């Protein structure tokens, strides 16, 4: 296993993945076969347990994509268990400052670079050099979702061990008390993009369409969450029903 995320970004290319909310290994397998670089299990907002998450990771791996997860909190035990289950990257939600980012980065890598604990897990199937090898593959991705995180973006992205910056634009708009897509909202997004650039780190954003990928790519974003399994199902089902109902 190698991280398609790191491979793409190190080559100066765009990396496109998608979000998994259905808790279905089969849905994950279908999207991996579609050609996404990576797929993220959303453990923050999906009713999935760790055993189910592990099976989803296996389905993603089997079809050649890179499995990652959005964690439900920042606790080292949580992050370690998701990594032990097979995540090759972690999105940490609601990161507000550099201290949080540093603690997350430390929890995701083994000593001497970090403080991740080594215990029995799926790593055994990858061989005895796992610790050294995996620290070079994992991507640590703080997600910025409020004004405090935007204000502290440069410090967050300068943290050693943080690999990619990622926005949560919906929560950001809600926390700011502004409309999604408003001038204030877009200014905050562009501020974060600039902060990632100053730190020399890739910047990512969720988008709802291929057209939005192209638009944000022109601005400098390179890491994209393109929709989600649930959204693909919802949109296509409605589209097909509408088409079938036309007289």
CA–CA distance, 227 with 209 (Å, rounded to integer):
7
Max Cα distance, the chain (Å):
67
Q: Residue 95 is encoded by which pair of tokens?
A: 């990161």
Q: Which residues pair with 66 in a beta bridge?
A: 38
CA–CA distance, 164 with 186 (Å, rounded to integer):
20
Cβ neighbours around 87 below 10 Å, total: 28
CA–CA distance, 28 with 19 (Å, rounded to integer):
9
Nearest to 193 by CA among 220, 171, 172: 220
CA–CA distance, 183 with 177 (Å, rounded to integer):
12
Q: Annotated catalytic, 74? A: no
User: From the candidates 45, 94, 185, 191, which is the catalytic residue?
Assistant: 45
CA–CA distance, 56 with 67 (Å, rounded to integer):
8
C-beta of residue 133 within 8 angstroms of C-beta of residue 158:
no
Positions annotated as catalytic residues are: 45
């Amino acid at each position: 296993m190698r991280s398609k995320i790191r491979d793409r970004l190190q080559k100066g290319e765009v990396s496109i993945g998608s979000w998994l909310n259905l808790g279905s290994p089969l849905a994950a397998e279908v999207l991996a076969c579609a050609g996404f670089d990576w797929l993220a299990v959303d453990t923050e907002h999906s009713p999935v347990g760790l055993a189910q998450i592990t099976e989803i990771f296996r389905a993603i791996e089997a079809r050649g994509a890179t499995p990652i997860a959005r964690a439900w909190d920042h606790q080292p035990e949580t992050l370690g268990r998701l990594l032990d289950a097979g995540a090759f990257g972690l999105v940490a939600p609601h990161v507000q400052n550099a201290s949080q980012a540093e603690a997350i980065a430390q929890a995701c890598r083994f000593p001497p670079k970090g403080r991740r604990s080594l215990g029995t897990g799926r790593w055994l199937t990858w061989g005895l050099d796992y610790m050294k090898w995996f620290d070079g593959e994992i991507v640590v991705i703080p997600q910025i979702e409020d004004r405090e995180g935007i204000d502290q973006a440069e410090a967050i992205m300068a943290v050693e061990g943080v690999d990619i910056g990622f926005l949560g634009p919906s929560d950001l708009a809600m926390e700011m008390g502004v409309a999604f897509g408003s001038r204030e909202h877009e200014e905050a997004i562009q501020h974060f993009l600039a902060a990632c650039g100053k730190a020399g780190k890739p910047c990512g954003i969720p988008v709802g369409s291929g057209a939005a990928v192209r638009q944000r790519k022109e601005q400098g974003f390179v890491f994209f969450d393109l929709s989600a399994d649930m959204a693909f199902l919802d949109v296509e089902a409605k589209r097909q029903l509408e088409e079938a109902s036309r007289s």
